[in-house]
Amino acid sequence: MQKMLISTPIYYVNDAPHLGHAYTTFIADMLKKHHSLRAKEVFFLTGTDEHGQKIALSANKHGLSPLEYATKISQVFRDEWDFLKIDYDHFVRTTDKAHEQAVQHAFDFMLQKGDIYKGIYEGDYCVSCESFATNSTICPDCNRPTTKVAEESYFFRLSAYQDKLLDFYEKHPNAILPLSRRNEVVSFIKQGLYDLSITRTSFSWGIALPKHLNEPRHVVYVWLDALLNYVSSLGYGTDNAKMGHFNHALHIVGKDILRFHAIYWVAFLMSLELPLFKQLCVHGWWTIEGVKMSKSIGNVLNAKDLASIYGIEALRYFLLREAPLGQDGDFSAQALVRRFNADLSNTLGNLIQRLFGLLKPFGGKLESTHTLEFYAPLYAEWQAQLESLEPYLCDLQLHRYLEELWRVFEACNATIAKEQPWALAKTNPQKAMALLSLIATFLAKSAFYLYPVLPESTAKLAKWLHVSLTSENFKAFMQKDFLLPALELAPIEALYPKLDEAQATPQESPKDPPKEDHTIQFEDFTKLDIQVGTIIKAERVAKSDKLLCLKIDFGGRVRQILSGIAKHYTPESLEGKQVCALVNLPPRKMLGLVSEGMVLSASDAGGLKLITPFSTAENGAKIG
């Protein structure tokens, strides 16, 4: 049995998990389930990265020790993955004793080999990214200011591996997916690699060097520490118990940490004389209605909260289906609801219910005696469609994998509409039964491809069809002449009941008691930034009969605000008028336009009226 490792990055514990973390982890979980059904022994690894200056600073802000703070946030990640039913095999923490021993073992090995030497680092350092930026006052990765540092450091001879890295990527063109990311890495390497500082002396929150070196001031720099989790979790440096899984390693990472995995990690592995990963799969980011997730604008979404509203599988399906690998995806509640209703409720859910309904004239009993006699060409066509899916998944084109799988369900529905088995049941019952057997057989076959994406509902579908989703059965069911044996189908609950469009706006749980007291504290009011501004331009928003797009001068800062007042005011009547607006709301995208605030208004029996100052005020004047 082939062994393999599937890993997410270990997530940094400077904050709680968000939608992007869940996306990465859903991909890895899907791949584990897929390869397990193909009779592979999969070790699924995830965890948390807990060392570094940024963690020490965050802990200090919260009045905790670095370990206490890291433990608290690490548990939040573990709890979230458990809630989302992620089937990981090991949750590593870089504060684990076994990981510490592995890092020290690796450091010693590379030092003895001559790949590590002591020197002085002088240059620019980004605390946020925990990375060095050569002669740059701005970090090239996060655009934050860097800090000048000068300290004693141990260095890894990264420059010595430049040609070996280029040779590896030339011989293994599919080692990074998508290929555009491989080209990006190769281009970066060709610009020339500098030796890498791998220890720090300016802070102490990290893994100490091996004791025999007698270097108590040095701690291992976070990237050498963090990347070694992929082998420390398999026993490297201790018992090597599961290192066999690393012979076929598949890493899932976001594009922001591509360079560390594609250059540093490969060079470390070469130095340690360990196998190189088989593939590095690099995905994009998730924006929220066109705006990048950011704490500063308050639009960071948590997967657990979304799953509580829409369901785990609805969220899982949307994220895996929506974005091509490597490209950024855009999340909106409306898009999730529409995708779920169209694909899962209408196409697949209705197909399952139709099959059961059409079997009623036969007492719910299914038999396949004449299936190939009547429908051999359709069987061959649908079989070929299922067999075409594997390359899409191997290339991590998950959106295409699901799109092509859904063609089978669409074909089943189209064939029912064309053949009209409800009429055939009266005139040619053998042919009607043959069609229903064909549909049931391909629902059963498809369940093996659907399970990695929708494990809970697919398990229910398989049980209804008397199918056990095992690797042995996968091999048997995918034979080109396989048909479901005679069986009787009981009633089945709707697996994908439609989501209400009203759910597209997250609301307070109905389980929460109604809040009668709406009083707020003065401190709450002071958080509102309400300013006076002059409308310098107003125009209607295309495809909307309610929205006006207003350009408002707030005293040196012109903001664009969308307001649903088009039925009460004409654009011409507003230009030059002063209004009051709340300006510290997070930006929101509507119909492709970004709105940076909310114009205040009042409504009564006479209609809607904008709130304006009693007399002219300076633009930008604050209302308090």
Which residue ranges make up the annotated binding site for Zn(2+)? 126, 129, 139, 142
| Dihedral (CA of 503, 505, 511, 513) sign | negative
Task: Select from 2, 94, 115 the least CA-distant residue to 45.
Answer: 94
- For tokens 């092509």, name the residue: 404
* Dist CA 548 CA 618 (whole Å): 24
- For tokens 């070996």, name the residue: 164
Provide the annotated binding site: 126, 129, 139, 142
Strand partners, 123: 149
The secondary structure element, H or E, covering residue 272 is: helix 266-272
* Dist CA 244 CA 231 (whole Å): 10
Provide long-range contacts, Cβ within 8 A and 24+ apart, for 353-361: 353/492, 353/494, 354/413, 354/416, 355/436, 355/439, 355/440, 355/443, 355/489, 356/489, 356/491, 356/492, 358/416, 358/421, 358/422, 358/425, 358/432, 358/436, 359/436, 359/489, 361/422, 361/425
The structure tokens listed for 92 are 């590593």
* Dist CA 268 CA 110 (whole Å): 9
Indicate the SS3 state at residue 91.
strand
User: Can the peptide bond before residue 491 be classed as cis, meaning omega within 30 degrees of 0?
Assistant: no
Pairing of strands 578-582, 530-540: antiparallel
Question: N- to C-terminal Cα distance for the chain?
Answer: 70
Q: Are 24 and 254 a contacting pair, CB within 8 Å?
A: yes
Give 92: exposed, middle or buried? Use CB within 10 Å, 0-12, 13-18, 19+.
Answer: buried
Provide long-range contacts, Cβ within 8 A and 24+ apart, for 554-557: 554/581, 554/583, 554/619, 554/620, 555/531, 555/618, 555/619, 555/620, 555/621, 556/619, 556/620, 557/620
